[in-house]
Structure 1
Amino acid sequence: IVMWLRTCATMKWAICDGTPCSCTLLIGNGTKQPLDCTALVPKCFLMKAEMDRARKGLSTRTIGGKQHETAIVDNDGIYDPECENDGKFKAKQCNNTDVCWCVNSAGVRRTDKGDQTLKCEKLVETNWVRLQLTHKEGPTNVNKDNLKT
């Protein structure tokens, strides 16, 4: 019997099995989150998987545990987020405690911390900056035959 190891190209921690192959990610308490391995894994699912792995003493994305000297220090630490079914962060995060806060679409705290009565009406989208890099125009047209050499 030949066993084929099937993997998820966008998530090395995923388990792919069945016919047809379906991929899942363990996100805590034995819960398997289905994944689309043709797209990037939502950050909320990634954070949940990382917390699950950390609790089990398995490897995570953390490299050596040492922060770069120019890195911004997150004094809140890592938290186990609550995710929507589509992988977006829920607007209000409480991390299994009575302390809650509102997050933006990147999962970053955007309000002061409060109690369970804190209202986070909707998820605030983060702003993205897109850069388009182009080549400076040259003095002449490019000869496509010269490009090969």
Structure 2
Amino acid sequence: MKWATCDGPPCSCYLLVGNGVKQLIDCKALIPKCFLMKAEMYRAGKALNIRSIGRKQHETAIVDNDGIYDPECENDGKFKAKQCNGTDVCWCVNSAGVRRTDKGDQSLKCEKLVETHWIRLQLTHKEGPTNVNKDNLKA
């Protein structure tokens, strides 16, 4: 994770998610999306580099027109079921952080986080030679 920094000894990895706010992470594991979104919002506010956007989405993909927002995260990195983004407008999200209800006010009830089980990923790579040399692969 290129945005992670280590303090120590002993070394502890963290992401900056606010002015002077460090979110402790495990640099040997996948970083929860909620923490990444918080770090991205902080970096965008400071005009620091963020992820590049612009790849064309697959025509059957679900599009989240709300874009990225500054989420509220649980201590373990999961999204809180109710997101308000520092305003009086709130909505409920699923475990991927995607809005699943209409937006409402602060009184909106989001009982629990709805787990997302089916996500379609389509990974492709550029064409390569049809005959692969095993010795080159080992190297």
1:117-128 aligned at under 5 Å gives the runs 117-128=107-118
How many residue pairs get aligned? The number is 121
Q: Is the 8 A contact 2:64 2:98 kept in 1?
A: no
4+ runs deviating over 6 angstroms: none
Unaligned runs of 5+ in 1: 1-10, 131-146
Counting only pairs closer than 5 Å after superposition, residues 38-77 of structure 1 correspond to structure 2 as: 38-63=28-53, 66-68=54-56, 70=58, 73-77=63-67
For 2:63 and 2:97, the matched residues in 1 are separated by 16
Provide the C-alpha distance between the structure 2 equivalents of 1:126 and 1:69, rounded to a whole number of angstroms. Answer: 20
Paired with 2:86 and 2:55, the residues of 1 have a C-alpha distance of 27
Cα drift, residue 67 of structure 1: 4.9
Select the residue among 5, 10, 13 that pairs with 1:20.
Answer: 10
Give the corresponding residue for 2:74.
Answer: 84
Q: TM-score, normalised by structure 1?
A: 0.74
Residue 31 of structure 1: how far off its partner (Å): 0.3
Which structure would you say has the larger RCO, counting Cα contacts within 8 Å and 6 or more residues apart? 2
Please state how far the C-alpha of 1:69 moved relative to its aligned partner: 6.3
Deviation at 1:28, TM superposition (A): 1.1
Report the equivalent of 2:85. 95
Secondary structure of residue in 2 paired with 1:107:
coil
Q: Distance in 2 between matches of 1:25 and 1:83?
A: 14
Larger Rg: 1
TM-score, reference length from structure 2: 0.79
Query: What SS is found at the alignment partner of 1:27?
Result: strand
Once residues 19 and 52 of structure 1 are traced to their aligned partners in structure 2, the CA distance between those partners, rounded to angstroms, is: 26
Q: For residue 5 of structure 1, what is the aligned residue in structure 2?
A: none
RMSD: 2.3
Aligned to 2:123: none
User: CA offsets, 1:88-143, max 9 Å, x none?
Assistant: 0000000001000000000000001000000000000001369xxxxxxxxxxxxx
Alignment partner of 1:41: what SS?
coil
